[in-house]
Structure 1
């Protein structure tokens, strides 16, 4: 019994003394289904609220940060999604650029067509690629803001006949924990 208590106390002390590996919490507001050269009209709109978490760099030398996030659309029937990926922050003096790439799982209809043109506007598969890029500015040691673009699509890999995709453009705030 004493050995178990001693072991538990040692593990507890080690856990308390170990450095915290806190990441970064982020959240933002995005315009949903922005018309860009990378998308077709999906007859969606509204505003997305996005919340995510970036882990500390996996390889500190390289600086690749894994992330998880979710995005909820304000319109009834609009596309919501959850995803995970990796990003890297490149400092450019007082500002930085953060490209990223991931995969998302979405809840858009599996078959949808534009009633005016007859063109399919569903996203082609449940799993989509999610490239993104942000331009950010540090406001304080633990706080930054970013203007970002997030794109979700199948890149015609899962369905070679169609790939409307959805683009989101917005701002997000980041809090280093």
Structure 2
């Protein structure tokens, strides 16, 4: 199961070369994984740096102008990596913009893991996780933008567990319009 993000990242990389030029942008990011925030418990077995690669499609012209995206996140120390799909929306606020999003991802770690002292679960509880995120960005040029980004992965207590540790990732990503 640990091969899922690597396989999806490979597919995503191939898709970048064959999709028509009407696709909106690609993004690449570097994240600190396992940051302690109010949205997650201290997940003792998560840490390291995560490298993210994504592909954001042109907005679907509706009232919301949502932008579908593909994402792959590879953890550099062997902790949870994931890949999935989602939607986001850009809100221009003068010289900066806000981009909230939500997705579903599949992560590559399974099995119940317990903290040896507290006996609390420290695994992510499910292979399928929600992935809400928010970014604050600015355009560096017509083609390039830079974002400070927060992402959270968890099962929101909907899948097979009363406990929901979750993992927060905070980092930066560079977007390149195609």
TM-score of Structure 1 vs Structure 2, range by shorter chain: 0.7 to 0.9
Q: Is the 8 A contact 1:89 1:99 kept in 2?
A: yes
Structure 2 residue aligned with 1:173: 174
Structure 2 residue aligned with 1:29: 30
Q: Is the 8 A contact 1:27 1:49 kept in 2?
A: yes
Q: Is the 8 A contact 1:104 1:127 kept in 2?
A: yes
Per-residue deviation at 1:106?
A: 0.2
- List structure 1 runs of 4+ shifted beyond 4 angstroms: none
Aligned residue pair count: 158
Out of 74, 77, 92, which is 2:76 matched to? 74
Quick check: 1:101 aligned with 2:102?
A: yes
- Counterparts of residues 13-162 of structure 1 (less than 5 Å): 20-43=21-44, 44-59=46-61, 62-76=64-78, 78-162=79-163
Distance 2:48 2:40 in 1: 16
Per-residue deviation at 1:160?
A: 4.4
Distance 2:76 2:92 in 1: 33
Alignment root-mean-square deviation, CA? 1.4
Per-residue deviation at 1:21?
A: 1.2
Distance 1:94 1:60 in 2: 24
1:117 is paired with a residue of what secondary structure?
coil
The superposition leaves residues 72-103 of structure 1 with CA deviations (integer Å, 9 ceiling, x where unpaired) of: 00113x00000100000000001000000000
Per-residue deviation at 1:117?
A: 1.4
Unaligned runs of 5+ in 1: 1-18
Per-residue deviation at 1:60?
A: 5.6
2:47 is paired with a residue of what secondary structure?
coil
Structure 1 residue aligned with 2:6: none
Q: 1:112–1:75: structure 2 CA closer, same or farther, 3 Å change rule?
A: same
Q: Is the 8 A contact 2:110 2:127 kept in 1?
A: no
Unaligned runs of 5+ in 2: 1-19
Q: Is the 8 A contact 1:42 1:114 kept in 2?
A: no
